[in-house]
Amino acid sequence: MVNWEYSESVESQEIVNIKDKYQNFINGKFQQQNSKKYINTISPSTEEVLSKIVISNEKDVDNAVQSAQLGFEKWSNTSPHERSKHLFKLARLIQERSREFAVLESMDGGKPIKESRDFDLPQVAANFFYFAGWADKIDLSWGAKSLKPHGVVGQIIPWNFPLLMLAWKVAPALATGNTVVLKPAETTSLTALLFAELCEQAGLPDGVVNIITGDGTTGSLIVNHKDINKIAFTGSTQVGKLIQKSLAGRDVGLTLELGGKAANIVYEDAAIDQAVEGVVNGIFFNQGHVCCAGSRLLLQESIHDEFVAKLEKRMQTLRVGNPLDKNTDIGAINSKEQLNKIEGLVNEGVSDGGKIFQTECELPGNGFWFKPTLFTDVQPSYSIAREEIFGPVLTTLTFRTPQEAVEIANNTEYGLSAGVWTEKGSKILWTADRLQAGVVWANTFNKFDPSSPFGGYKESGFGREGGRQGLLSYLKAES
Ligand code: NAP
Ligand code: MG
């Protein structure tokens, strides 16, 4: 276990019971896999090895898909009312064990405990409750056709919200009668494996949820498996494009939740102090490892200097450090690889001519860390203004008129989210109408609710998760 200096504000790790190594969860139990290849999963805040997980091979993927096929025969014939009861049970168990899940999420992924405890876990439970409620209320008639579950769904998720992305995918899939083969990201598999234990505890029928660990090759084996009926993927635009190509010409459903480079637009009439808070939350939440992060700050020219001064002052108060400390605002960067990517883009921003501001905080010795960073004097052509950095780095651009704000905001290949800050309701509506983004927040940022659909435009993907739309993406119309 990690030896951070003792402090009353540090959450105890004793609550979690991490095994030395993990097997895949297939057909209702943890099973010996075919692959003998294990990798370490570490805590990014200390680099300490927490456990070992298997890199599943073709035979393991095949076993999981077969198990999900058998599971589907039972699950699709289980009454919607029974399916609902199972999902409610899972939701309640998540609530009961939420402290354990939160600590494990922060240890394995590096996010601050106050976020895993007060954001991720309540959202995870809320998603299961929400879709449990839908399970026996879905109207399966669709004109002359009827709606049917796809069958076996392959679900591939990223490392930034490991358990929450699982919940976004597993809950609607099960509510609609599908069964799943889920692969968590290789750096953050532990909460998905703990969720597998919960499926056992909840008495979910065997084969309904199958969780196999692995890297990109495992993900690709799931995508290319001949008996997969739908793929739901959250991750990078680059991998999303590969998946879409692999599925071309096959009758396999697909939803893609990909990257983003959201504009957070602050008009001169905005309540400046609230906007500063919202901008800080928009980019520094979860170390900026957020697909919908407000990573491009668009400031109206007249308030630029005042806003930047207030923002820098506020950034100095952000506490970077031990993810298990309840006072920590910014935890560890998820992996060495991600840290290298952030450092590379930031160096490019400096050499392109951007003016960099970084807070004066001290960073811990071990682990992967990056100081909260703000760029001003940025041209829209710089890579820091175009590429997704996926770290605690905010890039500022300026505009003169609302038309110009919208033009700059839409000048990106992405279209996942956006923020608008103004005291005028009509300006919010005018701007939101013109923004090409799946979600537009007004005078707030990063607000989520299971009933509200989430998803992208352009290269941020297609399909929606959450709400009725999210549910429908797990059903197909058949005559
Ligand atoms: P990633 O590299 O695309 O990986 C996502 C998942 O896909 C991981 O489980 C990964 O496995 C797996 N994978 C990698 N290569 C694959 C392949 N060829 N075929 C099938 N699966 C493959 O993305 P990431 O770096 O983990 O996550 C960050 C990205 O996710 C960012 O771009 C972010 O914007 C996006 N994201 C989007 C949303 C959204 O809702 N739109 C939400 C969160 C994150 P391994 O990690 O084990 O290699
Ligand atoms: Mg880890």
Rounded to whole angstroms, the Cα distance separating 348 from 386 reads: 12
pLDDT tops 70 at residue 460: yes
pLDDT tops 50 at residue 433: yes
Burial 347-371 (b: 16+ CB within 10 A, else e): eebeebebeebebebeeeeebbbbb
Is residue 220 within 6 Å of ligand 1 at its C-beta?
yes
pLDDT tops 80 at residue 144: no
Tell the CATH superfamily of the 24-258+460-478 domain. Answer: Aldehyde Dehydrogenase; Chain A, domain 1 (3.40.605.10)
Q: How far is CA 210 from CA 24, 218, 234, 402, 445, in A?
A: 8, 14, 18, 49, 34
pLDDT tops 80 at residue 7: no
Rounded to whole angstroms, the Cα distance separating 343 from 89 reads: 44
Specify the pLDDT at position 479: 72
Specify the pLDDT at position 109: 98
Burial class (CB in 10 A: 0-12, 13-18, 19+), 447: exposed
Tell me the residue length of the chain: 479
Closest-lying ligand 1 atom to the alpha carbon of residue 454: 40
Q: Can you tell me the mean pLDDT for 228-254?
A: 97
Q: Can you tell me the mean pLDDT for 67-83?
A: 96
Q: Which residues contact 469 (CB under 8 A, 6 or more apart)?
A: 453, 455
pLDDT tops 70 at residue 262: yes
- pLDDT 10s digits, 375-431: 999 999 999 999 999 999 999 999 999 999 999 999 999 999 999 999 999 999 999
Q: Check residue 154 and give left, alpha or beta (phi > 0: left; psi -120 to 50: alpha).
A: beta
Specify the pLDDT at position 98: 97
Closest-lying ligand 1 atom to the alpha carbon of residue 259: 34
pLDDT mean across residues, the chain? 96
Specify the pLDDT at position 328: 97
Separation of 47 CA from ligand 2 center, angstroms? 9
What would the two tokens of residue 445 be?
């940022």
- pLDDT 10s digits, 31-60: 989 999 999 999 999 999 999 999 999 999
What are φ and ψ of residue 365, in 5° steps?
-70, -55
* Among candidate residues 7, 16, 6, 18, the one with its CA nearest the CA of residue 42: 18
Q: Can you tell me the mean pLDDT for 1-21?
A: 81
Q: Which residues contact 184 (CB under 8 A, 6 or more apart)?
A: 157, 159, 162, 166, 191, 192, 193, 211, 213
Q: Which residues contact 264 (CB under 8 A, 6 or more apart)?
A: 278, 279, 282, 283, 294, 296, 297, 298, 418, 419, 421, 445
Ligand number nearest CA of 106 is 2
Closest-lying ligand 1 atom to the alpha carbon of residue 159: 26
What are φ and ψ of residue 47, in 5° steps?
70, 10
Separation of 102 CA from ligand 2 center, angstroms? 14
- pLDDT 10s digits, 349-377: 999 999 999 999 999 999 999 999 999 99
Ligand number nearest CA of 46 is 2
Q: Can you tell me the mean pLDDT for 191-211?
A: 97
Specify the pLDDT at position 6: 60
Question: CB–CB of 224/250 below 8 Å?
Answer: no
In this prediction the pTM is 0.97
Q: What percent of the chain has pLDDT over 90?
A: 95
Is residue 411 within 6 Å of ligand 1 at its C-beta?
no
Ligand number nearest CA of 191 is 2
Specify the pLDDT at position 143: 76
* Among candidate residues 176, 182, 179, 233, the one with its CA nearest the CA of residue 469: 176
Please tell me the CATH code under which domain 263-449 is placed.
Answer: 3.40.309.10
Specify the pLDDT at position 51: 98
Max CA-CA distance within the chain? 66
Known catalytic residues?
Answer: 257, 291
* Closest C-alpha to ligand 1, atom 9: 185
Specify the pLDDT at position 1: 44
Q: Can you tell me the mean pLDDT for 223-245?
A: 98
Specify the pLDDT at position 124: 98
Q: What residues does each domain of the chain span?
A: 24-258+460-478, 263-449
Is residue 89 within 6 Å of ligand 1 at its C-beta?
no
Rounded to whole angstroms, the Cα distance separating 423 from 441 reads: 14
* Among candidate residues 389, 407, 390, the one with its CA nearest the CA of residue 398: 407
Is residue 257 within 6 Å of ligand 1 at its C-beta?
yes
Q: Can you tell me the mean pLDDT for 291-312?
A: 98
Separation of 158 CA from ligand 1 center, angstroms? 4
Q: Which residues contact 375 (CB under 8 A, 6 or more apart)?
A: 349, 354, 355, 356, 357, 384, 393, 394, 395, 396
Identify any residues that bridge with 465 across adjacent strands, giving them in sequence order: 454
Is residue 185 within 6 Å of ligand 1 at its C-beta?
yes
Question: CB–CB of 196/119 below 8 Å?
Answer: no
* Among candidate residues 359, 384, 416, the one with its CA nearest the CA of residue 297: 384
Specify the pLDDT at position 141: 75
Question: CB–CB of 418/437 below 8 Å?
Answer: yes
Cβ count near 458 (within 10 Å): 18
Rounded to whole angstroms, the Cα distance separating 234 from 244 reads: 12
Q: Can you tell me the mean pLDDT for 157-168?
A: 98
